Amino acid sequence: MSVYAVTNPATGVVEATYPTATDADIQAALGLAHGAFGSWNTTEIAVRAALLNRVADLYEERRDELSAIITREMGKPIFQSGKEIDITVSIYRYYAANGAKFLADEELEVAAGGTALIRKEGVGALLGIMPWNFPYYQVARFAAPNLMNGNTILLKHAPQCPESALAMEQIFADAGAPEGAYVNIFATNDQVAGIIADPRVQGVSLTGSERAGSAVAEIAGRNLKKVVLELGGSDPFLVLEDANVKRAAKQAMVGRFGNTGQACNAAKRIIVDASVYDEFVENFTGAVAGIKVGDPAHPETFLGPLSSAAARDGLAAQVQDAIDKGATVLAGGAALQGDGSFFAPTVLADVTEDMRAYTEELFGPVAVLYKVSGDAEAVALANASAYGLGASIQTEDMDRAHSIARQLEVGMVSINQTSGSAAELPFGGVKRSGVGRELGKYGMEEFVNRKLVTFRG
């Protein structure tokens, strides 16, 4: 049976299956992407920009259809699915508008005289291994800058997202992309290992789990291939004693439970100063109690099902471990009965180091609250994680906020707002949250040949 299937997580029903690529299919895809690189890399930048703008146009025209696909594939509430299309469109338009500027030659000073330039060019065919939680957005932040660079794309999507994967490939075809510029592959893990090792592939970008990132990086390292890895996160959300507590509670609720809590940069560990802890708990649990859970196809649903039964059961085991070891349940605490992979919006307190919830990423609608005394303790707890993706600081003192931001071991800090994303802002982390950056200017600089050209006269 194919591993690529649409299993509606709201019902548990397998709605469609798709054949996995044969080895011959993979070789054909590699040949197409590699063969297209030479001509695409020498195509005028204005032509590349026009392609990205046309891709954005088609996303806008097909917004409702595309939104419905991912709501059915991975359970994203339909309103949030539409918002994902909107940011995807913004990414393609951003690189279409700014690509020429980012690729402009850079002149260097030469001590011995003469002139030197850095010329930015594509490097070849790239493999993108993308996750299910943001099926369109994650692909856009890899594909848009690299197509603008002149690279070609082999896209291996998550097995539960075959229809969105095919819809994206169709968009590129309908937009007029040259054959081989963007190629979808329904590959197995074994086939992926062979693709990474293939000399026709020049780099790999993966968004996914720490385990998957480690496996990909190992293969890529053996074959001298560059990687960009955006992996897990356990982002701290710091509420200082001078914070606007009501605002902080509302932002923490949205930041934790958006996309059913299935986001790497969600506000997973909420660290609250003791002086405002009780007030925050009251406001936060009140906000959580108001979350509408239900059919993700309903426009008023905020929290849909987890992406799969396996994801639901894994999260339940993590939560039950904490409860068994003495954690306090302030809301929820278990999977919901009935069809589908639904889990109650959950708030845990009194989580200690011997619990899985203390060190593991909770990829679902579970928030963990911690009470601390003072900034030093808050920072120490925030940094007590193997992950280092993002963080949020809630305070009315900007000098204090910037001081704490400098102390946090993360790639991104948001002050008085939840962690988010925008086309122009670089995204990425440190420690076991990965390497490299996506989006913004820096997203175009990962897979380029910075070719030095020197001359006299």
Of the candidates 19, 60, 33, 312, the one whose C-alpha atom is nearest the C-alpha of residue 182 is 33
Structure confidence by residue, pLDDT tens digits, 64-92: 999 999 999 999 999 999 999 999 999 99
Structure confidence by residue, pLDDT tens digits, 228-254: 999 999 999 999 999 999 999 999 999
- 199 and 299 share a domain? no
Q: Is residue 451 very low, low, confident or very high in pLDDT (cuts 50, 70, 90)?
A: very high
Provide the pLDDT for residue 1.
Answer: 41
SS3 378: helix
* DSSP symbols for 265-301: TSEEEEEEEGGGHHHHHHHHHHHHHT--BS-TTSTT-
Let me know the angle formed at the C-alpha of 164 by 233 and 193, rounded to the nearest 5 degrees: 60
Provide the pLDDT for residue 274.
Answer: 98
* Structural domain includes residue 406: yes
- 59 and 148 share a domain? yes
Structure confidence by residue, pLDDT tens digits, 294-348: 999 999 999 999 999 999 999 999 999 999 999 999 999 999 998 999 999 999 9
Provide the pLDDT for residue 59.
Answer: 98
Where residue 315 sits, what CATH number does that domain have? 3.40.309.10
* Structural domain includes residue 365: yes
- 280 and 313 share a domain? yes
CA distances from 253 to 261, 290, 301 (A): 10, 10, 15
Both tokens of residue 7? 């299993």
SS3 137: helix
For 77, the domain range is: 4-231+433-455
* Structural domain includes residue 448: yes
Number of compact structural domains in the chain = 2
Give the mean pLDDT of 352-362. Answer: 97
pTM of the model: 0.97
- 274 and 337 share a domain? yes
Provide the pLDDT for residue 457.
Answer: 64
SS3 143: helix
Provide the pLDDT for residue 456.
Answer: 84
Give the mean pLDDT of 285-300. Answer: 97
- 41 and 190 share a domain? yes
Structure confidence by residue, pLDDT tens digits, 160-214: 999 999 999 999 999 999 999 999 999 999 999 999 999 999 999 999 999 999 9
Mean pLDDT computed over every residue of the chain: 97
Provide the pLDDT for residue 304.
Answer: 98
56: buried, middle or exposed (CB in 10 Å: 19+, 13-18, 0-12)?
A: buried
Which of the residues 73, 163, 169, 230 is marked catalytic?
230
Which of the residues 161, 163, 264, 446 is marked catalytic?
264
Structure confidence by residue, pLDDT tens digits, 102-153: 999 999 999 888 899 999 999 999 999 999 999 999 999 999 999 999 999 9
Provide the pLDDT for residue 112.
Answer: 86
- 347 and 446 share a domain? no
Provide the pLDDT for residue 2.
Answer: 61
264: annotated active-site residue: yes
3-state helix, strand, coil in the chain (%, to 5): 45, 20, 35
